[in-house]
Chains A and B, each alone.
Chain A
């Protein structure tokens, strides 16, 4: 039995401990926001957070999550349902195209902003180059990250109203 917290809720699974976390999340827990793209740590579609760090769940055995905190795209918005600043920025920049890579892109970006609230282009390249977007929306993803970083710099917790207010006052 493997027990971990996922998006704040404790879950126990009776599965092969060597099975990749990706399939535990998608099939055993029925949370399909995390995607399968390659199964070989080459595309980033399966990116989730394990104790806050971005990992490729397709090559991470579910046993590695024992006792850990896992966050998926479904757990990124606040408990009240308020979107994460990155999710809002992704909408504002109309970043997704087909959208299939975007859960992974957003999770990689969220891990980046958690440690580097104002990443420059080189930091964005370094953090995001493990995530392929076959629709080629890199320019919009980069802009979205910068937009969200700006928003976080202005207010700790994202509030669109507050951002507008702050900007007005400046």
Chain B
């Protein structure tokens, strides 16, 4: 294993000479690694079945490739290297494999790949974060940085980045399915002594029409397994798909309506105790001292554990532990961040942005055309500052993990977006050999990026080791909200130059804080002069990937400011977008569809507003039109018309579900989501001060799908970034107030104001 890592690290650390970041570029970069990344991960060069056989197959199973096995009765099992958090990835990936294999869907099921190195997908994932995106040359340094991370991420098994379909599905499951089908054909051709070209497949059967012979995959399996799976089997054209593009019921749903689905929270280990935790309220603080006398005196409390930056109370029941944790008197060390608050952070961003402007020390994402010339020649210059707060993920299932430590071995039961990464991190934290750590994966009650982090699993493992009893650690809702890895608070300043004829001459944007995807602040519009740049302005608040990551802020910033530009140019915001997308027919077509379905031309009633946005993220385009009503200062979102072009929708209903979910998640944040820092710590601690959209607030969401045939994109994240700007644009129409800060709940729409920032 370590050999593999090193090979790949070397090969991927400097993908020099890569001018254009394309999927092919990535594959060839990967192929250099001798074992390769894409190939190496999807179907590693060389036959890896021996290495994985013990991990995934049982008596009587034939392993066709490391991604698919078939048993004597003809039951076909896909081995899916992604976790289920309700996005339906496991069903969809199985669907992709089964289609290419020409398997009968009734014969097909799946298992989640074990948390083993052979099933790592890290590099695959990272690479595809960028694949297909048109990235300005100025971004290439950042891309190289990401490549380096990709190499480091080899021992990851990530579900995130909206990657399941577009990376694992396209490069892994389809290839594996097609390769398995070819192996079946080879086996039949050999047995019947007929040319492969005369054989056809359907419904888990190979047929030879001329001689009227047929053999099931089950019969052919052992002969087929003697062939090596091809890395480059021929894949179907979309017209040949029988399963892809159809709605198949998700496998995970029935158990989720009967209470049988096992989430991490539901893990049962004989003899286990329960732990509650109190973590340092200021990030970075440590336990100075604590008095647990009162806690220990409570019946049922068995242990109190000092974790260095947290104190855990272990008891025979969770409620007992949680109550006792309240009785522990903990003193925390002072830190340099004890006086930091949201306002000081905001001032810091403004100062750092001003400094970077003055010194010219910002880093450029995009530099195109003659920006200063354009501003000098402009008939009109508009400026605005946009800001977003920190956001917590607030998964429905609070963070939790169950751990047992015995005989030098550690077992952890949890729901994680990265089971393999969890194993390695737990091992590192406990200074153990990863081989002695086992990870039992469960369903996740929400992930959204939060469950790519392993803090609770490590805590549970440490508590189990320290106490010697199996422990289920459950975070309270307050701990969950106050100890997240947050979508950063970000400030973004814009200037636009507009000509006397209403032409958009220049777009100048500087913002604080940059993560991934690198192209998030890039606009799709044809503006000749552009300067998009950033400066880092870090805080002590931990960063985390939050559904759509940097798109979650830049989608809002760029698409809301665009409407200000349209107004200054004297143009309809939809029509100006159209005009500046003349060279992007795919984008334009989707925008037109959303506008048409939403009735953009229809008049808007007094007190109502309609707003539009367009966002490209994770390889998928989404256009949204939002309708709001503002009544006595209360904003209600009535309807969202959404058009989505993922290239090809493998599961149309699943895609629609992801769009609905993404919109509501983004809407919760846009309407009410803010994590404020007070005295270095998070102020919010419950659903009443960190609210989510509820049934009564949920808009009707209409999803229209376009299969453009372009490279397949993701589904989990692209629905999220476009709702906030469309909402802000709709509110402007309804009220005349520009929403330049989120959440919307900060504004009082009973008053019509020009500069809302000054009022807050």
- Whether the Cβ atoms of B265 and A141 lie closer than 8 Å is no
**A-contact bits for B414-446, CB 8 A (1 contact / 0 none):** 000000000000000000000000000001111
Q: Do the beta carbons of B259 and A139 come within 8 Å of each other?
A: no
User: In the complex where A27-B317, A73-B258, A74-B258 touch, is A137 in contact with B446 (Cβ < 8 A)?
Assistant: no
Q: Which residue of B lies closest to A33 (CB)?
A: B259
**Chain B residues whose C-beta falls within 8 Å of the C-beta of A125 in the assembled complex:** 695-696
Chain B 380-397: CB-based contact to A (< 8 A → 1; otherwise 0): 000000000000001111
When the two chains form their complex, are residues B259 and A103 in contact, meaning their CB atoms are under 8 A apart? yes
Query: Does B26 make an interface contact (CB < 8 A)?
Result: no
* B252 interface contact, C-beta 8 A: yes
**Contact flags B65-94 to A (C-beta < 8 A → 1, else 0):** 000000000000000000001110000000
Which one of A43, A91, A129 contacts B687 once the chains associate, using CB atoms below 8 Å? A43
- Interface residue stretch chosen among B47-55, B289-297, B332-340, B657-665: B657-665
Proximity bits, A24-64, B CB within 8 Å = 1, else 0: 00011011111111111011010000000000000000000
A23 to B265, CA, bound (A): 12
State whether the Cβ of A158 lies closer than 8 Å to any Cβ in chain B. Answer: no
Q: In whole Å, how far is B361's beta carbon from the nearest beta carbon of chain A?
A: 40
**Which of A42, A73, A98, A141 meets B259, CB within 8 Å?**
A73
Number of interface residues of B (CB under 8 A): 62
CA distance A132 to B472 in the complex (A): 24
Contacts of B258 in A (CB 8 A): 33, 73-74, 76-77, 83, 87
Whether, in the assembled complex, B239 has its beta carbon less than 8 Å from a beta carbon of chain A, the answer is: no
Asked if A97 and B87 make an inter-chain contact with CB atoms under 8 angstroms apart, the answer reads: yes
Query: Within 8 Å of chain B (Cβ to Cβ): is A99?
Result: yes
User: Is B257 an interface position by the 8 A CB rule?
Assistant: yes
Given contacts A32-B266, A39-B477, contact A138 B698 (CB under 8 A): yes
Complex: how many Å from CA A97 to CA B661?
9
Determine how close the nearest CB of chain A comes to the CB of B93; give it in whole angstroms: 17
Residues of A within 8 A of B701 (CB): 139
Question: Is there contact, CB below 8 Å, between A98 and B86?
Answer: yes
The closest CB in chain A to the CB of B476 belongs to: A39
* Of the residues B263, B444, B665, B695, contact of A129 by C-beta under 8 Å: B695
Partner pick for A42 among B444, B448, B686, CB 8 A cutoff: B686
Output the least CB separation between B313 and chain A (Å).
Answer: 15
Which one, B250, B657, B694, B696, contacts A140 given CB within 8 A? B657
State the CA gap A38–B698 with chains docked (Å): 21
A70-85 residues at the B interface, CB under 8 angstroms = 72-74, 76-77, 83
- Cross-chain contact of A45 among B252, B262, B396, B474 (Cβ < 8 A): B396
Bound CA span A102–B687, Å: 18
Please determine whether B695 and A131 come into contact, CB atoms closer than 8 angstroms. Answer: yes
What distance in Å separates the Cβ of B451 from its nearest Cβ neighbour in chain A? 10
Query: Is B319 part of the binding interface, using a Cβ–Cβ cutoff of 8 Å?
Result: yes
Closest to A138 in B: B698
**Most chain A CB neighbours (cut-off 10 Å) among B87, B259, B444, B667:** B259
Once the chains bind, are A96 and B395 in contact (CB under 8 Å)?
Answer: no
A5 contacts B by Cβ under 8 Å: no
A99 touches B660 (CB 8 A): no
A101 touches B396 (CB 8 A): yes
Interchain CB contact under 8 A, A83 and B686: no
Indicate whether B688 reaches chain A with its CB closer than 8 angstroms. Answer: yes
Known: A37-B396, A136-B661. Contact between A99 and B695, CB under 8 A?
no
A65 adjacent to chain B (CB < 8 Å): no
Considering the complex, which residues of chain B in the window 679-706 have a beta carbon less than 8 Å from any beta carbon of chain A?
686-688, 692-696, 698, 700-701
Q: Are A38 and B687 in contact (CB under 8 A)?
A: yes
Q: Which of B262-291 contact A (CB under 8 A)?
A: 262-263, 265-266, 268, 274
Judge if B254 is at the interface, Cβ distance under 8 Å: yes
Asked if B396 and A96 make an inter-chain contact with CB atoms under 8 angstroms apart, the answer reads: no
Does B398 make an interface contact (CB < 8 A)? yes
- Interface contact B257-A90, CB-CB below 8 Å: yes
Asked whether, in the complex, the Cβ of A100 is within 8 Å of the Cβ of B397, the reply is yes
Within 8 A of B (CB), among A145-164: none
- Chain A residues with Cβ below 8 Å from B274 are 27
**Complex contacts, A136 vs chain B, CB 8 Å:** 660-665, 667-668, 693, 698
Nearest CB in chain B: distance from A152 CB, A: 16
Does B308 lie at the interface of the complex (its beta carbon under 8 Å from any beta carbon of A)? no
* Bound Cα distance from A43 to B665, whole angstroms: 15
- Is the CB–CB distance between B253 and A98 below 8 Å? no
User: Which residues does chain B contribute within 8 Å of A137, judged by CB atoms?
Assistant: 657, 660-661
A98 with B444: CB separation less than 8 A: yes
Contact yes or no, B319 A23, CB < 8 A: yes
Give residues 316-371 of B contacting A (CB, 8 Å).
317-320, 322
Distance in Å: Cβ of A121 to nearest Cβ of chain B: 9
- CA of A27 to CA of B257 in the docked complex: distance in angstroms? 20
Min Cβ gap B387→A in Å is: 24
Asked whether any CB of chain A lies closer than 8 Å to the CB of B14, the reply is: no
B477 touches A94 (CB 8 A): no
Closest to A31 in B: B259
With contacts A20-B319, A106-B257 taken as known, whether A139 is within 8 angstroms of B396 at the C-beta atoms is no
The smallest C-beta distance from B161 to any residue of chain A, in angstroms, reads 18
Task: Mark contacts of B237-267 with chain A using CB atoms, 8 A cut-off: 1 yes-contact digit, 0 otherwise.
Answer: 0000000000001101111111111110110
Contact of A32 among B265, B396, B477 (CB under 8 A): B265
Q: Are A23 and B256 in contact (CB under 8 A)?
A: no
B249 and A94 form a contact (CB under 8 A)? yes
Decide if B653 is an interface residue (CB 8 Å cutoff): yes
Chain A residues with CB below 8 A from B85, complex form: 97-98
Contact B695 A142 (CB under 8 A): yes
Min Cβ gap A169→B in Å is 27
Q: How far apart sit A77 and B701, CA to CA, in the bound complex (Å)?
A: 31
Instruction: Please indicate the chain B residues that have their CB under 8 angstroms from the CB of A72 in the complex.
Output: 259
Q: Quote the shortest CB–CB distance from B694 to chain A (angstroms).
A: 5
The answer to whether residues A42 and B687 also contact, given A23-B318, A27-B274, A91-B257 and a CB cut-off of 8 A, is yes
B609 to chain A, nearest CB (A): 22
Contact residues of A between 95 and 133, Cβ < 8 Å to B: 95-103, 106, 124-126, 128-133
Known: A83-B257, A137-B657, A139-B700. A100 touches B445 (CB 8 A): yes
Q: How far is the CB of A60 from chain B (nearest CB, A)?
A: 12
* A99 partner, pick from B249, B252, B394, B657, beta carbons under 8 A: B252
Q: Which residues of B contact A73 (CB under 8 A)?
A: 257-259
Check A124/B695 contact, CB under 8 A, given A42-B686, A136-B663: yes
The verdict on A134 contacting chain B, using a C-beta distance below 8 Å, is yes
- Residue interface bits B137-174, CB-to-A below 8 A is 1, else 0: 00000000000000000000000000000000000000
Q: Which residue of A lies closest to B651 (CB)?
A: A94
* 8 Å CB contact of B265 from A30, A36, A76, A91: A36
Quote the shortest CB–CB distance from A68 to chain B (angstroms). Answer: 20
CB distance from B675 to the nearest CB of A (A): 15
Q: Please state if B446 and A134 are interface contacts (CB–CB under 8 Å).
A: yes
Report whether B395 and A94 are in contact in the complex, using a CB–CB cutoff of 8 Å: no
Residues A37 and B397 in contact, CB atoms below 8 Å apart: yes
- Give, as a whole number of angstroms, the nearest-CB distance from A117 to chain B: 19
C-alpha spacing A165/B653, complex, angstroms: 27
Q: Is the CB of B268 within 8 A of A37?
A: no
By a CB distance below 8 angstroms, the chain B residues around A106 are: 257
Q: What are 13 pairs between A and B in contact, CB < 8 Å?
A: A37-B396, A38-B477, A40-B477, A40-B688, A74-B258, A87-B258, A91-B257, A96-B256, A98-B85, A98-B395, A99-B253, A99-B443, A136-B665
Known: A73-B258, A91-B249, A96-B86. 6 other contacts (CB 8 A): A35-B445, A36-B398, A97-B85, A99-B261, A100-B445, A136-B668
Please name the 9 residue pairs, one residue from A and one from B, whose CB atoms are nearest each other, closest first: A33-B259, A136-B664, A100-B445, A99-B256, A97-B86, A98-B86, A73-B259, A138-B698, A32-B266
